[in-house]
Amino acid sequence: MSAPRVRETINNCVSRSQSDSYEDQQKALQTLASITRVSPQYRSLLAQTDGAISTLLGLSKSSSPIIRTLSLSILLNLSLNPDLKQSLASMETIYRLNWIIQSSSSQETVKLASSLICSLAMLDKNKARFGVAGTVQVLVKAVSAPSNPAGHHLLSSLAELVQFHGNSTLAVRAGAVSELIHLIGSTEAEDLAGTSLAVLNLLARFDEGMIALTKTDQIVSLMVDVLKGRSMFSKE
């Protein structure tokens, strides 16, 4: 498909996604999701389209689960382009992602929102921005929810953010060490233990995290129990 034809298709889909009809919105978003999944060039063209990003952000609050999922999927596709990560990580976007994680009842939506945070945070320049917006505290609180199906996605996002010293400090102050220790020792969250340990390792690189770990009761016996367990990732 030629560049002018692609641009026309994208403009048409963005326009249709603003329709009052859920059916029109869904078809338009499905097309955008499909073409941005495979082509960095198409992602750039969509990102350059007037009103595209704000429209997708608005649709991420739609009452329709399908519309919410599709809009977040497209934003996640766009974030795969390294040159788009900084512009996508606006405070408006970050606050919207925080809101989704805090308030959404759809675990698929939460997974997509946390994956988008992780993708955008891979650009070091964005890490501090998430810290300022309170994303670290939002993730720590979400991780503490019992049997959270989005646990791995939330922990992966937290792991990416705490590589920045300032965010590590925020995580420790938000109680991340105790929450992660709880996940490691919980039989209900055994599949999250390895990822939780990986985040603890990152926190321990800085004084605040190491001090919090050394003050944790029975930390040595807990690590010995991990070594006796079956998970090779946790043992590593």
Q: Which residue ranges make up each domain of the chain?
A: 1-80, 88-235
Q: From the first residue on, what is the mean pLDDT of each consecutive set of 10 residues in the chain (236 residues)?
A: 81 94 95 95 95 95 94 98 97 96 90 97 97 97 84 95 97 94 72 85 92 83 68 59
CB of 49 within 8 A of CB of 10? yes
**What global pTM score does this model have?**
0.91
Superfamily of domain 88-235: Leucine-rich Repeat Variant (1.25.10.10)
CATH for 1-80 (1.25.10, 1.10.3470, 1.10.540, 1.10.1760) = 1.25.10
State the number of CA atoms in the 13 A half-sphere of 14 facing the CB: 20
Shared fold status for 1-80 and 88-235: yes
